[in-house]
Amino acid sequence: METKNIQYTEKFEDIYTNVDYNKKRYQEMSEKFQNLHGVKPDYFVRAPGRVNLIGEHIDYMNYPVFPFALEQDSLLCFTYSDDELIHIDHMNSEEFHSAVISNDPAKRSETIASLTPKQSYIKYFIAGYCSGIDGKVSSYKGLKVLIGGNVPLASGCSSSTSLCVSSSILGVFANKSTINQAELLENIITYERSLGTACGGMDQTISLLAVHGKALFIEFNEFAKIESVQLPHGVSFVIANSLTPSAKLETLGKRYNKRVSECRMACKILMDKMSIKAEKPFTNLRQLVRNNETLEEMQEKVKTLIEQKVYTKEEIEQIIGTKLEDFLQGIPQSELVITQNNDYYPYERALHVYSEANRVYQFQKTCFDTQLTDEEKIPILGKLMNESQYSCDNLYDCSSDKLNELINICRKNGAIGSRLTGAGWGGCTVSMVRTENLQDFLQAVKTQYYEKNGLTCDENILFATAPANGAMVYKNIEF
Q: Give me the active site residues, please.
A: 203
Dihedral sign from CA coordinates of 431, 432, 434, 435: positive
| Whole-number Å distance between alpha carbons of 95 and 390 | 36
In sequence order, the 6+-apart residues with CB closer than 8 A to the CB of 275 are none
Element (H, E) at 111: helix 108-113
**Strand blocks (E) in 81-151:** 85-90, 99-102, 143-149
Cα separation of the two ends of the chain: 19
What single DSSP character describes residue 150? -
What single DSSP character describes residue 208? H
What are the φ and ψ backbone dihedral angles of 152, each rounded to 5 degrees? -55, 130
In sequence order, the 6+-apart residues with CB closer than 8 A to the CB of 337 are 252, 253, 257, 258, 261, 324, 328, 331
Q: Are strands 215-219 and 225-229 parallel, antiparallel or unpaired?
A: antiparallel
CB 270 within 8 A of CB 301: yes
DSSP string, 380-410: HHHHHHHHHHHHHHHTS----HHHHHHHHHH
C-alpha separations of 431 from 52, 205, 223, 463, 466 in Å: 11, 22, 31, 10, 12
Q: Which of 248, 242, 239, 243 is nearest to 69 (CA)?
A: 239
> Whats the size of the chain, residue-wise?
479
| Whole-number Å distance between alpha carbons of 271 and 269 | 5
